[in-house]
Chain A
Amino acid sequence: GRRGPVSPGAPRAERGPAPLPRRRRPAAAAQRRAPQSGRSGMASPSERGLPPRGGFSHCFIPVYRFQENADPQKTAFLLRKQWALYSVTPLYKFSSGKLREYARLLGAFIAAERHKGLAVQVGVDLDIQVTFSSLPDLKGSEQDHAAMLVQLSSRSSVSPKNSEEKLMWSGWFCCVSGDDLSENVPEDFTCLPLFLANGAESYVAIVGSWFQKTFDCRFRRLAISPLNLTWMAAMWTGCKVEKNASATELVFSVPCLPQPLDISYAIHPEDAKALWDTVQKTPGEITQEEVDLFMDCLYSHFHRHFKIHLSATKLVKVSTAIASAHCDGIIKFLQSKYLIGVLMLLTELAISQIQ
């Protein structure tokens, strides 16, 4: 599979509010990109026969017509929660018309696993309810399959009528602008390459193994490399800053010392954006050089004060007003306005890991 950094121009975003045609990246820029990829097997877009990718919109505004439909009320429950990220290979013979049946089958599977004494920390007198639902607003292009949510709730089995249903675990599959993958799979396959889970990890194992058995797919934990984290830092910093927005924070870790050290470097959001705006030259396009320059500026400002080379440490977490991302593959969405945009980026990472 293709590993390595996110291809810089990959997710196509349209500048809002007026929908514009997809921007094409000049050939020269594609050339510039090649040395950075450095990984074998990563062909440049023109070699693959696809049109060259457009750059990121510098405000990272998602595809307009879907943003218009996306109801912030419906997606509010996705915000401000920690989601663990996984990549999922395409599902074989999945049908969105059979969600009720799948819920029933998964419920039976979980009950069987509990009976065997495997996993689950739920008390003996609790029933686990499974629901499958569709999130049609969470997509980026017409070809994307609607996102799908799986939820596990517990209810007392002794007095089911009286007890409250308590949500224990949520996981959702989505595909935002995943045309790269969905255009290239045979008909019986459904592409939902990104999976996000909140709740005990043991449930991911159970739900994951049911999906793997039923749809012949494979789940893999999706880590985020420091390189991709710097992209996120740059892109999210570039978004319009609301009043009282939170700082752009970068967390670095130096574990291999006799005494480990963590460094949190938080920049006022207005100042961070001002710096990014002076670095980012071409509207509608972000290049690796610009991201590198942005980071080098931050590193050199830090070095001037502390004489420490941050570039030699490990970037583990990036946090902005838009979202926060951790290298172990954990994301937190903080604003519904940018939800689709962040999902687009994560979908790209998931597809990268699958291919």
Chain B
Amino acid sequence: MDETVAEYIRRTVLKIPRDEIKSMLQTWGFLSETQLQTLNFHQTKDNISQDVVQLCEDNSADIKQAAVLDIIYNHIYPNKRIWSVYQMNKTGEETDFFDLTDFKKKFKRRLQSALKNVTINFREYEDNAIWIRIAWGTPYKKPNQYKTSYVVYHSQTPYVFISASVLRSTLPLLCQALVVASNYHDIREMELRSHCLNSLKDIVFKRYSQTFQTYYPRPLQERNVAPENVDLRIIQENRSEKERIQRVNREVFGDGPQPKLEFAQYKLETMFKSNPKMDVLDIKEPFRCLVKFSSPHLLESLKSLAPAGLADAPLSPLLTCIPQKARNYFKIRERKGFFPGSFVSP
């Protein structure tokens, strides 16, 4: 077995949390059940990985098989990578029948004709998700297995989720191969990025609870206040305002859990308008700013701002439109004749 393959397998196993190693190796299926029985999973991960490498050596593993283990790891832990969303377009209404074999063949052919040194692996999952792993090389160097790109393509949709490696120069080639293989005409990058792959899917597949401008009945005013607050001397002064905020928040954000995004970025090129009270000269040029919001769970965080008194309710549509517009990168320019100016450019 190649030394580089051995090292690659060893490092991949080291990434896996100890409790998961056995089940992941079973899913991999490259080592037999008997072989797996011989492994002691109670030793250090260093030793476990050495033992696994030894077993793979016995089975003469090659890079293709090692790559499958890597796909399995990334499928279970996709949030270690950052994903961008792309949308493919085709003119015409016909929905072609999706032929997986044809797709794989065309994809490989397109990539390999441009770049000889490339490792390509496919793995299909339920919900029609095709995972593609690509390790990139150069005309003179073998593929670097540590610099990989991942593609997740849901064949019944025009959406592709790409976790590009550091080699961004390979992106155009990758996009081209996808378009050709899937019989689309072109592909564009949506301004939507996150670590949480499932949330990205939720957003583009509209799987989160959407907000509709329906009538929401007043929340249960008839119900008695919860027993914790029996003291009648305590009065909530702005109870109706609090309730209004909660109601408006629900209308704007919906009832269900929000998709998980970590950041949103706004490039502002709007005019600076001073409050007339402030007596500051109006500046004639756009006031150029870059605003970036970050949070472990951005949308939930934004949702809690108004109830916490830190923001008005309803919150600005610039923020609340993120799931509907399926983007978290924005460029805002002044809309003529409106206040507040907000014109979202594509």
Which residues of B have CB within 8 Å of A262? 293-295
A302 vs B286: C-alpha distance in the bound complex, in angstroms? 14
Whether A257 contacts B304 by the Cβ 8 Å rule is: yes
Nearest-neighbour CB distance to chain A for B311, whole angstroms, equals 4
How far is B304's CA from A258's CA once the two chains are assembled, in angstroms?
A: 7
Tell me the bound Cα distance from A338 to B150 in angstroms.
47
A267 to B318 alpha-carbon distance, docked (Å): 19
Q: Is the CB of A260 within 8 A of B296?
A: yes
Determine the residue in chain B with the shortest Cβ distance to A247. Answer: B290
- Quick check: B301 and A260 within 8 Å, CB to CB? yes
Q: Does B123 contact A (CB under 8 A)?
A: no
Instruction: Say if the beta carbon of B316 comes within 8 Å of chain A.
Output: yes
The number of residues on chain B lying at the interface, defined by a beta carbon within 8 Å of a beta carbon of chain A, is: 43
Residues of B within 8 A of A301 (CB): 272-273, 287, 289
Cα–Cα distance between A274 and B340 once the two chains are bound (Å): 22
Q: How far in angstroms is the closest Cβ of chain A from B321?
A: 12
Check: B220 CB closer than 8 A to any chain A CB: no
Tell which of A258, A263, A312 touches B309, judged by Cβ atoms closer than 8 Å.
A312
CA distance A182 to B281 in the complex (A): 43
| A278 close to B (CB within 8 Å) | yes
The number of A-B residue pairs with CB atoms under 8 Å apart is 118
A307 touches B287 (CB 8 A): no
Give the CA-CA distance A301 to B166 in the complex, in Å: 36
B55 on the interface (CB 8 Å rule)? no
Q: Does B297 contact A (CB under 8 A)?
A: yes
Residues of A266-292 contacting chain B, CB below 8 A: 266-268, 271, 274-275, 278-279
A77 CB within 8 Å of chain B: no
Pair A305/B332 contact, Cβ less than 8 Å: yes
A266 touches B290 (CB 8 A): yes
- In the complex, chain B residues whose CB is within 8 Å of the CB of A278: 280-281, 283
Given contacts A307-B312, A308-B311, A302 and B291 within 8 Å (CB-CB): yes
Chain A residues, CB < 8 A from B316 = 305-308
Within 8 Å of chain B (Cβ to Cβ): is A162? no
The docked-state distance in angstroms from the alpha carbon of A307 to that of B302 is 11
User: Cβ of A313 and Cβ of B310 under 8 Å apart?
Assistant: yes
Q: How far is it, in angstroms, between the C-alpha of A297 and the C-alpha of B278 when the chains are bound?
A: 8
- Nearest-neighbour CB distance to chain A for B11, whole angstroms, equals 26
Complex-state Cα separation, A296 to B272, whole angstroms: 12
Q: Which of B275, B280, B305, B342 contacts A308 (CB 8 A)?
A: B305
Would you call the interface of chain A mostly helix, strand, loop, or mixed? mixed
Task: Verify B289–A264 contact, CB threshold 8 A.
Answer: no
CB distance from B332 to the nearest CB of A (A): 7
Report the bound CA distance from A304 to B291 in whole Å. 13
- In the bound complex, what is the Cα–Cα distance between A279 and B287 (angstroms)? 15
Q: How far is the CA of A20 from the CA of B310 in the complex (A)?
A: 46
B94 at interface, CB cutoff 8 A:
no
CB pair B280–A297 under 8 Å, yes or no, is yes
Q: Which among A256, A307, A312 has the greatest number of chain B C-beta atoms within 10 A?
A: A307
Which of A268, A296, A297 meets B288, CB within 8 Å? A268
Known: A259-B295, A304-B340. A309 touches B287 (CB 8 A): no
Contact B292 A305 (CB under 8 A): no
Check A169 for interface membership: any CB of B closer than 8 A: no
Q: Which residues of B contact A302 (CB under 8 A)?
A: 291
- The docked-state distance in angstroms from the alpha carbon of A309 to that of B309 is 9
Flag if B312 contacts A258 (CB, 8 Å).
Answer: no
Closest 10 CB pairs of A and B: A268-B288, A259-B301, A307-B312, A308-B311, A261-B301, A307-B316, A264-B292, A259-B297, A266-B290, A278-B281
12 A-B pairs (CB sep. < 8 Å):
A254-B301, A254-B310, A260-B295, A267-B288, A267-B289, A271-B272, A279-B280, A297-B278, A301-B287, A305-B332, A306-B319, A308-B316
